[in-house]
Chains A and B, each alone.
Chain A
Amino acid sequence: MASETFAQLVGLSTGVLLLSGVLLVWRRSLHAQVALLATQGVALAVLVLVLGLHESDAELLAVAALVLVLKAVVLPLILVRTVARLGVGVREETPVINTTASLIALSMLTMLAYLVSRPLLTLGDGPTTTAVPVGIALVLYGMLLLATRRHAVSQLLGFLVLDNGIATVAFLIAGGVPLVVELGVSLDVLLVVLILQVLTSRIRTEFGEADLDDLSELRD
């Protein structure tokens, strides 16, 4: 693959990753959020695919397929089922801080991500290195989602964004992790999501809502 095309494709996929992250914070409808997560999964898979083609690494191609199946299909499907069970048009009604403030926070976090990854950027000036801040920004977005959203499914989304961020950084810096590790991590994420899904339905049957603020009794 020509290096020009490679740079374009890496830029495109990481751009989609970042944009979908921002939109995830902006949108409050759970359906839209799940769709955005699926988009993010596709973008991540494309990134891995491009990397694999560039380095002609068969293992990375397999990882790309794995990422596509897991992050773009399986996990969104599970989430869609959960959301569907909760009812039509479920929204994150009252986040801890409102959308405008969240978006301002996002811009600050993005700046922070670029600031802290300056030492990394000096390692090289290829398109993969310059895109590393995107991964760090995604990690921060995920944590922001976790800390500010009340709905159990939103929490799950935040967790997955965080995981996507970590994966992005890993692929961009190290050209991915060995297949075995990737398999393990993927299974882990899948398991976490399944457990959280069950937990969400339990919370709903128990409290009628899936609002985590109801769970403040469990402390010493």
Chain B
Amino acid sequence: MWSWVLHRITGVAIYFFLLVHILDSALLRVSPRAYNAVIDTYKQPIMGIGEAALVAAIMFHALNGIRIILIDFWGGGPKRQRLMFWLVLVVWVILMAGFLPRQIGVILSEF
């Protein structure tokens, strides 16, 4: 049940980011100044944390999505759904352990 709840919550969060992200990218068609002004806000530390949360949500949604596909299409899937949920969490922790130090480095850097 928690995998289902998390799949919905991360899905809705990613959806609303996608709406904003299409609109901010549309500023590329307005002017370099307009696009850069908005994209500069993504480089603030607070937004850097937001990006980490976004990546965390996307990674969970992707990994649990693979799990759902395996449950639906692989004969042995339904029997192993609980094991696969733990695998999702383990792989998610590994991926985040790789991404977070990098993202924190970027937030703190004076690029």
| Chain A partners chain B | no
